[in-house]
Amino acid sequence: MGSKDDYNAESIKVLEGLEGVRKRPAMYIGSTGKEGLHHLIYEVVDNAVDEALAGECDTIKVTLNKDGSVTVEDNGRGIPVDMHPVYKKPAMEIIVTKLHAGGKFDNKAYAVSGGLHGVGISVVAALSKKMTVRVKKNGKVYEQSYNIGTPMHPMKSSEVCGVEERGTTVTFYPDDTIFSTTKFEFSTLLNRFREIAFLNAGIKIIFKDETQGKKEEFHYEGGLVEFVKWVNRAKEPLHKPVYFKRQLDGITMEVSIQYNEGYQENIFGFVNTINTVEGGTHVAGFRTALTRVINDYVKKKGLLKSDSLMGEDTREGLTAIISIKIPHPQFEGQTKTKLGNSEVKGLVDSAVTSALAEYFEENPAIAKRVCEKSLDAAKARLAAKKAKELVRRKNAFSLGGLPGKLADCASKKFEDTELYLVEGESAGGSAKQSRNKNNQAILPLKGKILNIEKANVSKALSSEEIANMITVIGAGVGEHFDIEKLRYNKIIIMTDADVDGEHIKTLLLTFFFRFVPKLIENGNIYVALPPLFRIRRGQKDQYVYTEEELKKAVDKAGQGATVTRFKGLGEMSSEQLWETTMDPETRKIKKIYIEDAIEADQTFSMLMGDDVQARKEFIQENAKTASLDI
Ligand code: 1YM
């Protein structure tokens, strides 16, 4: 293999060292499938990232070449090339051909970037048909190529370059006798490089795929702050990201958090830039600290008197990145992506506790918003628990059957099914007559479900009407919600356009928002928009939805029109109800988005709150406008 005799002799020794890698590649790179293949690139890139973290380089280029090889290039100091005093070989050769090159060259105290297995470039060389390492430094280009880890020739330095030029370029051809596939996936690499760029602020990564003519560049001066913003890019953030960095006992901890209007918890942990999908002690420490700081704050500010917020309450709508750099990580778990170092939990806990408490003191407006979000979550949790108990109790008594007043539909085709929640027994009766029995179900709700002005949320939930509704919808509430069990595709709220109707609509939307927000996010909730007036000209009927529309319509037609005002749904004949509110061809329905529900929730809170004057004004205002469009 070597081009010279003495290299042949050396090659045998080298092969002995790297033979283990070729015999049991999975031990070193995880697998010989797609993941392992991609791992080769990450190992080389990690070396370049370490050089960047040492403050010696700022740009890393990765290229998928047309001939199936991969090139990784950095503008750092260049892998050392000086003679090793004992081996009498250039450092480059020792680094590439010896597993965990030790001694003089193993002084990478700051090398904490990635590498799930952290095995280094020699493993990549051993698993490549060919690898070439080129180093530019001191105005010279040093180069050596290797075949499955053994040098093909002594390191040469025949070329020259500008003295200011420096860096390392590694090109390798994965060995197709080892890997089940040698095809790299652009998107997998792209995501990983984006992540690396987020986690190492300031590094520029230029990624090119020459086989497809694609190029992407990642460079984030803001690091984790930009990472959090990126994760929340399609969400509505509640505040600007919180960020802090602390160093304790040789461990660097960086955290950025930002809450959004949603309910999902998104905590991403990284250890030495590895995504610890299974969590571990760093994430545990963060959670403990978050729960403590928020609890302390709400208690101190008198926002919560008894009870405590639970951890889950403080994580609703939370996006957080916890990135730690640690010299000797211990990875555990099924996929070795769980941090095991027990000392880390306490360190992260105390760092986050002090940094976040300080941040809250300095940014009371943000602290308030975050605490309100957690308090809302706690309220919802308690009410959902009540509702669940109620449904359980109810099921125990009613043998789990559907309520008798439900007029169910026949269709088994989920997409077509609709449930009308109808205000009032009489409108419910008309709706039952008008509906298309095949796909439209009707559940009448008592005219006034409850006196909203006096009841609170959990009381609202203990109403039999609401319990019936939960049973009929079928998907449960709160943490027991299961969308797979949903019985209807569209759930349509149909109430009168008066104050009571508005109240019931507000209550129902608040219910959906707090206990089954997924139904809203999933686009299952609608409100029906029944017309307010009928204008009859001879045999022809026109339905209008607002007073303004009526005015316009009557001005244009002029004389000879009879106008009927519908006071409530119950006043319509079943034909009219079908035509105006239930026939998919002619009806008007409005899909409810989370913003609509939030508005309802706020209105509801206001109606329930202590501000009697505000409530009075709202009701008076609504009494006037209830006849207008909603
Ligand atoms: C495209 C891959 O490997 N770059 C790279 C590697 C090293 C250095 C610079 C480097 C490190 C140090 C001193 C040091 C490596 N050095 C070693 C060893 N890019 C790529 N760039 N001088 C240069 O850490 O002290 C191994 S890799 F062993 F010398 F430390």
* Residue 189, ligand 1, Cβ within 6 A: no
- Does the annotation count 423 as an active-site position? yes
CATH of 224-383, one of 3.30.230.10, 3.40.30.10, 3.40.120.10, 3.40.640.10: 3.30.230.10
According to the model, what pLDDT value does residue 450 have? 52
Reduced to 3 DSSP states, what percent helix, strand and coil does the chain have, rounded to the nearest 5? Answer: 45, 20, 35
pLDDT, tens only, 93-104: 999 998 764 333
Look up the CATH number of domain 9-219: 3.30.565.10
3-state secondary structure of 199: helix
Catalytic residue among 423, 502, 549, 601: 423
* Residue 44, ligand 1, Cβ within 6 A: yes
**Looking at ligand 1, which residue's alpha carbon is closest to its atom 27?**
79
* Residue 105, ligand 1, Cβ within 6 A: yes
Cα–Cα dist 540/522, whole Å:
39
- Does the annotation count 496 as an active-site position? yes
CA angle 575, 577, 579 (to 5 degrees): 70
**Domain residue extents for the chain:** 9-219, 224-383, 396-531+570-625, 533-565
Burial class (CB in 10 A: 0-12, 13-18, 19+), 397: exposed
* Residue 77, ligand 1, Cβ within 6 A: yes
pTM of the model: 0.64
Nearest partner of 578 among 436, 468, 459, judged by Cα: 436
Q: Which residues of the chain have pLDDT under 50?
A: 1-4, 12, 101-112, 115-118, 396-399, 451-454, 623-630
Atom of ligand 1 at shortest range from CA of 44: 2
Q: Which of 40, 62, 108, 172 to probe ligand 1 with, by most ligand atoms within 8 A of CB?
A: 108
Nearest partner of 62 among 158, 174, 168, judged by Cα: 168
How many angstroms does the Cα of residue 132 sit away from the middle of ligand 1? Answer: 15
How many angstroms does the Cα of residue 80 sit away from the middle of ligand 1? Answer: 7
Q: Do domains 9-219 and 224-383 have the same CATH topology?
A: no
Atom of ligand 1 at shortest range from CA of 54: 24
The residue ranges of DSSP E strands in 281-382, in sequence order, are 318-325, 331-332, 338-339
How many angstroms does the Cα of residue 47 sit away from the middle of ligand 1? Answer: 7
How many angstroms does the Cα of residue 84 sit away from the middle of ligand 1? Answer: 15
Cα–Cα dist 148/53, whole Å:
29
* Residue 45, ligand 1, Cβ within 6 A: no
* Residue 168, ligand 1, Cβ within 6 A: yes
Atom of ligand 1 at shortest range from CA of 167: 21
- DSSP alpha helix (H) spans, 399-498: 425-434, 457-461, 464-473
According to the model, what pLDDT value does residue 123 have? 93
Token digits of residue 455: 């009841």
Token digits of residue 610: 């202590």
Look up the CATH number of domain 396-531+570-625: 3.40.50.670
* Residue 74, ligand 1, Cβ within 6 A: yes
Q: Which of 51, 107, 170 to probe ligand 1 with, by most ligand atoms within 8 A of CB?
A: 51
- Does the annotation count 500 as an active-site position? yes
Nearest partner of 386 among 467, 472, 458, judged by Cα: 458
**Looking at ligand 1, which residue's alpha carbon is closest to its atom 14?**
108
- Does the annotation count 221 as an active-site position? no
pLDDT, tens only, 499-521: 778 888 888 887 888 778 889 98
